[in-house]
Structure 1
């Protein structure tokens, strides 16, 4: 039986949960994978093994070396390698995939001793590590929260492959008072945590993002820790439980993963980056709560709480429409404030600003003007400045005067309506909106060929107080719209990809499909694998042939019959079943 066949059979026997873990750990994208044969080919590719080598521990490398020499190894030592599909079972025990062995030989793994250098550790001050790590965890949570609100209020397009444009990165960096590299890393982290997704070449919120807003600090930390543990895996998580506070995680990983490349895209690099961003290490030194987090101990909350900034419930409301929070706000209070205020700077002491657009956004999410007024009075413990009252009254008068709706038309997809003819004239002549190619079929209407969400964000970016309404006339909340899109996107993610792969594999196994047969033959030719083919012969009976295929053309398969040692040609129409030998 060929290595590819072993791998296909192993993949077929895995549960969906095991497959999800496998493709995540081996960094395989299944969005374009057609069936288990294609997935096996991706996993068995030299580049896939090369990417995995750096994540192999010294113990795993020793186990692979023993198997390659024909030595017996325990099932416990082989279990992790089997889960990663780096070895496979045979009657005599286990075997290593040839492509993996080739990659290891290129690293000279089996031609020299893998000595571990005793790295001299610098003993840092533990209290300083804990203090700084707590601040980093706080900054990460603030950045992720800011990204969620940013996605609510701005249209962020996909740039490159799942990337974010420089203007969006700069906007986030300015709000956080951080460099662009930090902002870019936070966008990547938000995507990795499932807080944002891509739909129609745009970044959108997901249901976990909405849940994030309702969590307190401890719940958010727990979510970050769970994602860190998922990246580690159960075996590595167990091994790291023995680390003492103040140990260098980087040195430990260097010692236990001798072939690891410490780059940002490597698994080791991601582990170090996650640990640093989540407040589990600082400068790669472990905190007092590092092992508490890995072991799910209740003491994690009490240890970490001492080093997170203390929340306070008061804000300072100023006549220039700015709001100052002298310290971190409680989650519920901050979420309420962010519904109708935009951020200027986010830090231990944050600054927000009221504007017509921000108040309009609050009304769109379901708030009432009186609720906003009462909130500001209660949290500031003072009478509202007169400019704030003027702003609230102005937005009350203007809200709902500029409406964007979706229309089912062959050429136009959005309809902009307003009783203010001068406002529509201003919009139609605005050079910033020239790309929308707005048409004016009537004095109170504008039409556009773009979808309503694009038009809505475009108008708001230019300062117009636009809102969206559905066909029934109800205001569409930006949060509810995000949840609806996210729910639709989630249905087409990894689970549906795995279901599609299983369905295609079942159809291929059934045979009789020329396209499926052609794919398997091409796969066998590329991998120099044999095929077991069941075909109908001249007398109407079925016969099985062991072929080494060498070509397929004009509806016929040519190959060497391994048993008869002759060249055989079979019409595809006569083949009833085909599988790798």
Structure 2
């Protein structure tokens, strides 16, 4: 027996707002073919549509469906059934809720596949106890959160504030290093938009962190809108510069707010007012018996992200994390400002050219130091190293030797040790003797200016530079038709210390254009040349792991976005059809269903005080009249709908 008629009756009783909510939640796959409640009911009773609607339901709601099918409605089930009717999972007959056979069958199959006993789930949970419905849940689908079963809302461990502060400072440091590297070297993405494993590993090695930490950092900055995928590369967005210009407190707040907004809704529901995050995650297989394994895995990923960012510590929300999840951003920010340390007064430059950074620095000092050093260890306290290569790269990017010396003299709490003084002096003697810039006079794509004519002679005959096809312009000027980056790389490989002249250019647009990306034959180097400084993500682009909806009390809009045009038109058609039916709604819906299914029905009509019964194959229903063929008599009959007193299956 089909539940289409019962569901169509429930749909016909909905007002416009209820109907819109139903369509928004269930999202019919073929809206153009739906013209009336019967059509919408048929769409919603497709097996795949039913399963999508069942999987996010809590165990109490599933138990209510099972008890309704068994005819055992209990106290408290009315509220559950009202919600399920609004979701198109319960029908109506004679103004009473009824189970839909298609939903009941799909629910039993899904519960068996998930290892849940339907009879146990249908039994009400004992007061103060737990349901025994999950009897054979495969351990691999429960997720690593199950190890935190011993944490409870009442007995969560006291928060260790020091641990979340350390985690927060470490995460901010990792995120900043990732963004600085991505500005010059965009991350390669797979065709599905995920970060390539090898690319993540290379990024982690470049900044001295573990690959798992790099993955967490990339997720955090993507959620905060600091990166966005463009084609097959992950680029920084315009928001990244303002984030890097903020202090460590502001940076952490931005990452934490974005992460808290991305908490999976089942976990948010299970958490309630508790701080026991791991315990809430461990309870999900019981609360949501049909929650798919990928969603359970997403919950476990969120737990790891929360620990990484300092939103939680050892399975329990930190005080700041709890405030953010309750939507109290201002209080959370004030608490973070109180608990996170002030910027460190300086760094310790060692004779071995290592730099000990005891804590977060002023953003400008941090950026300048990062440009002159290479990261070795990034954490709440970090270690960086000064090398000839790091200084040469900074000088090539436009930093003057005098600026580097002034920075070290200002931020170093130990002064400038003799090895660093020697290295700065040695490099200063060679900087400025070889300057590479874009050619503006048509003599070639790149212009090379040297300090002495003999250096120009050396470059012109150096076999390692033959592929540059250098052309002599005058005694101290050479030109090459290759790009600036190619020339700089070749000179570096040949052990010439060259710096790059930075011509003044207009500010880049917010989104990358074809010209910025380079011509097709230069696609392999366009990202390296312009990098994310010149290519910004298009408006609305979202990085991996970005949230799809804001959390309650955070930045969620008061009104839901408008329905897509196709779904809005569906709502109008169904709402109008439900109110335009002549005669008895139940009879006309039965006839419409028979027309749709090409099924015969037994129709009883009253005329002049006498009842007449026909077995008919309905053909059409229009203008208050039923047109149908009578197979037994071999004729076509037309009956006024207002004379029909009963319609039953033949």
Same fold (TM over 0.5): yes
User: What residue in structure 2 maps to residue 485 of structure 1?
Assistant: 535
User: What residue in structure 1 maps to residue 288 of structure 2?
Assistant: 257
User: What residue in structure 2 maps to residue 105 of structure 1?
Assistant: 109
TM-fit CA distance, 1:379: 0.7
TM-fit CA distance, 1:378: 0.9
Q: 2:354·2:385 contact (CA, 8 Å) conserved in 1?
A: yes
User: What residue in structure 2 maps to residue 333 of structure 1?
Assistant: 365
Q: 1:36·1:502 contact (CA, 8 Å) conserved in 2?
A: no
Paired residue secondary structure (1:418): strand
Deviates more, 1:290-299 or 1:258-267: 258-267
User: What residue in structure 2 maps to residue 539 of structure 1?
Assistant: none
User: What residue in structure 1 maps to residue 185 of structure 2?
Assistant: 154
User: What residue in structure 2 maps to residue 418 of structure 1?
Assistant: 448
Paired residue secondary structure (2:274): coil
User: What residue in structure 1 maps to residue 59 of structure 2?
Assistant: 58
Query: Which one scores higher on RCO, CA 8 angstroms, separation ≥ 6?
Result: 2
CA distance in 1, matches of 2:568, 2:492: 50
Q: Quick one: structure 1 residues 246 and 191, their matched pair in 2 at CA, closer, same or farther if it must change by over 3 Å? A: closer
CA distance in 1, matches of 2:77, 2:61: 11
Residue 218 of structure 1 pairs with residue 253 of structure 2: no
Residue 375 of structure 1 pairs with residue 407 of structure 2: yes
For structure 1, list consecutive stretches of 5 or more residues without a partner in the other structure. 27-32, 408-413, 431-437, 510-531, 533-545, 550-559, 567-581
CA distance in 2, matches of 1:460, 1:403: 15
Q: Indicate which of 196, 220, 233 corresponds to 1:202.
A: 233
User: What residue in structure 1 maps to residue 300 of structure 2?
Assistant: 269
Q: 1:403·1:467 contact (CA, 8 Å) conserved in 2?
A: no
Could you report, residue by residue, the CA deviation over 1:403-430 in whole angstroms, capped at 9, with x for unpaired residues? 499x9xxxxxx94443467289667568
For structure 2, list consecutive stretches of 5 or more residues without a partner in the other structure. 34-39, 133-148, 451-455, 473-477, 510-527, 547-560, 572-591, 599-617, 622-626, 630-650
CA distance in 1, matches of 2:55, 2:492: 46
Residue 230 of structure 1 pairs with residue 230 of structure 2: no
Could you report, residue by residue, the CA deviation over 1:150-207 in whole angstroms, capped at 9, with x for unpaired residues? 1023242223522334443233433565433333343344334432222131111112
CA distance in 1, matches of 2:470, 2:18: 58
Q: Indicate which of 313, 323, 330 corresponds to 2:355.
A: 323
CA distance in 2, matches of 1:78, 1:456: 72
Could you report, residue by residue, the CA deviation over 1:200-252 in whole angstroms, capped at 9, with x for unpaired residues? 31111112322321333333333333333423378964763521569734334
CA distance in 1, matches of 2:98, 2:491: 62
Deviates more, 1:240-249 or 1:275-284: 240-249
Q: Quick one: structure 1 residues 161 and 492, their matched pair in 2 at CA, closer, same or farther if it must change by over 3 Å? A: closer
Q: Indicate which of 368, 387, 395 corresponds to 2:423.
A: 387
Q: Indicate which of 477, 482, 500 corresponds to 1:447.
A: 482
Could you report, residue by residue, the CA deviation over 1:7-40 in whole angstroms, capped at 9, with x for unpaired residues? xx999968xxx98xx89xx9xxxxxx99999xx9
Q: Quick one: structure 1 residues 135 and 53, their matched pair in 2 at CA, closer, same or farther if it must change by over 3 Å? A: farther
Could you report, residue by residue, the CA deviation over 1:394-451 in whole angstroms, capped at 9, with x for unpaired residues? 444445x15499x9xxxxxx94443467289667568xxxxxxx88799722337xxx
User: What residue in structure 2 maps to residue 514 of structure 1?
Assistant: none
Q: Quick one: structure 1 residues 264 and 310, their matched pair in 2 at CA, closer, same or farther if it must change by over 3 Å? A: farther
Q: 1:315·1:324 contact (CA, 8 Å) conserved in 2?
A: yes
CA distance in 2, matches of 1:359, 1:371: 11
Q: 1:245·1:290 contact (CA, 8 Å) conserved in 2?
A: no
Q: 2:619·2:628 contact (CA, 8 Å) conserved in 1?
A: yes
CA distance in 2, matches of 1:390, 1:42: 77
Q: 1:126·1:288 contact (CA, 8 Å) conserved in 2?
A: no
Q: Indicate which of 143, 155, 176 corresponds to 1:145.
A: 176
Paired residue secondary structure (1:323): strand
Q: 2:171·2:379 contact (CA, 8 Å) conserved in 1?
A: no
CA distance in 2, matches of 1:264, 1:236: 10
Deviates more, 1:326-335 or 1:199-208: 326-335
TM-fit CA distance, 1:312: 1.4
TM-fit CA distance, 1:148: 0.6
CA distance in 2, matches of 1:210, 1:150: 13
TM-fit CA distance, 1:107: 1.8
Q: 2:151·2:276 contact (CA, 8 Å) conserved in 1?
A: no
| C-alpha RMSD of the superposition | 6.1
CA distance in 2, matches of 1:152, 1:66: 58
Q: Indicate which of 367, 376, 381 corresponds to 1:344.
A: 376
Q: Quick one: structure 1 residues 171 and 65, their matched pair in 2 at CA, closer, same or farther if it must change by over 3 Å? A: same
Paired residue secondary structure (1:344): strand
Number of aligned positions between the proteins: 486
TM-fit CA distance, 1:104: 6.1
User: What residue in structure 2 maps to residue 180 of structure 1?
Assistant: 211
Q: 2:388·2:423 contact (CA, 8 Å) conserved in 1?
A: no
Q: 1:403·1:466 contact (CA, 8 Å) conserved in 2?
A: no
Larger radius of gyration: 2
Paired residue secondary structure (2:282): helix
Q: Quick one: structure 1 residues 113 and 155, their matched pair in 2 at CA, closer, same or farther if it must change by over 3 Å? A: same
